[in-house]
Amino acid sequence: MNLEHLKQEVLEANLDLVKKDLVISTWGNVSGYDPESNLMVIKASGVPYVKMSTKDMVIVDMEGKVLEGNARPSTDTPTHILLYKAFAKNGIHGIVHTHSQYATMWAQLGRSIPCYGTTHGDYYYGPIPCTRELTTEEIQTEYEVNTGKVIIEALEATDCLHMSASLVKHHGPFVWGKDAEEAVLHSQVLEYIAKMAYCNETLDPRLQPIPGVLEDKHYSRKFGPNAYYGQK
């Protein structure tokens, strides 16, 4: 992919976070990965969305070295890099981190989000995992890298295609997709699901997750090998 095109794509995805009410202030970030060059574009650190342009998109290599851009890349850059190293081979080329309110509430509780209905099952196969707590040493040494490591660890029971999100305990969600645009969509869906799950448990603390057979049906008809949702 042309990197100028990727910079525009990542800029639009970052601005879309604001339109979808997933970020405020300078919080959050979107990145995009180009498999041909093995390079990543990510927004600059601490730049207000209202002033953001392609000049605030930073190109870095997979070791975190800045190749283009005068600004410092997002502080979460090492987390994005580690996730691409683990997931890009599966076609994951876009990553989003937000502090969206309801998903972050579950992260602060240190709880995975149970699958309570077909809306969840249409996009996420199984509970949306929450990572374990980082140790003191992991926080004090290579914090952002270790954040990526616990996300990968939390997905050991599934894979990055069936589960395109993880909550980081005490922190917030990281979400991914085939490109930056899809990753933003998955972030929006995650927030919608997180809010519904919160309301479900508030209304009925004894609520049980959706029956497995129904969850399987909804996920497989959209993403399974014999999927029939949508148009060919």
Contacts 24+ apart (CB under 8 A), 160-164: 160/86, 160/87, 160/90, 160/92, 161/90, 161/91, 161/92, 161/223, 162/124, 162/125, 162/126, 162/219, 162/223, 163/124, 163/125, 163/126, 163/128, 163/129, 164/92, 164/123, 164/124
Find the mean pLDDT for residues 4-12: 97
Confidence of residue 199 (pLDDT cuts 50, 70, 90): very high
Average pLDDT, integer, range 186-215 = 97
Residue 212 belongs to some domain of the structure: yes
Is 90 exceeded by the pLDDT of residue 231?
A: no
pLDDT computed for residue 157 by the predictor: 87
Mean pLDDT of 85-92: 97
Residue 228 lies in a domain: no
Q: Confirm whether 231 is domain-assigned.
A: no
Catalytic residues: 122, 229
Q: What is the CATH number of the domain that holds 85?
A: 3.40.225.10
Whether 34 maps to a domain, the answer reads yes
Count of domains in the chain? 1
The answer to whether residue 19 is domain-embedded is yes
**Tens digits of per-residue pLDDT, 126-163?**
999 999 999 999 999 999 999 999 999 999 989 999 99
Question: What pLDDT is attached to residue 80?
Answer: 98
**Is 110 a member of any domain?**
yes
Residue ranges making up the domain that contains 174: 3-223
The CB-side HSE value for 191 (13 A sphere, CA atoms) comes to 18
pLDDT classification of 1: cutoffs 50, 70, 90: low
* Full-model pTM: 0.95
In a domain, 232, yes or no: no
Q: How far apart are CA 60 and CA 42, in angstroms?
A: 8
